[in-house]
Amino acid sequence: METQGPSRRALFRGQLLSKPVAVIGDDCFVEAGIVCRSCGDSCPESAIRFRPRIGLPPQAIVNETTCTGCGECVGACPGEAITLGAARRGDAS
């Protein structure tokens, strides 16, 4: 599976770290109102947490500091919404 490289804007602004991390895309089941926690259950580092939202399923959030880029969540995602990409500096949740 190929991942898209960092944007030129992100490189220019110095917003990237050197390690890959999980990136949850817009195809996540939660965006369709479906509760799914497959990514969080599969993460050996517990780097994926779920932010509660009123009236909507909890949103998966990746802690980029804790994420090791192992890819366990990529294979576990039934919606194929997770890829490995570059971390952004200072954006750990």
The pLDDT of residue 92 is above 50: no
Residue 31 lies in a domain: yes
How many CB atoms are located within 10 Å of the residue 85 CB?
17
Range of the domain at 74: 8-88
Give residue-wise pLDDT tens across range 10-67.
Answer: 656 655 546 899 999 999 999 999 999 999 999 999 999 999 999 999 999 999 999 9
Residues in the chain, how many?
A: 93
| 1 lies in some domain | no
Residue 3 domain-assigned?
no
Q: Half-sphere exposure (CA, 13 Å, Cβ side) for 26?
A: 0
At residue 76 the predicted structure's pLDDT band, cuts being 50, 70 and 90, is very high
What's the number of domains the chain is made of? 1
The whole-model pTM stands at: 0.72
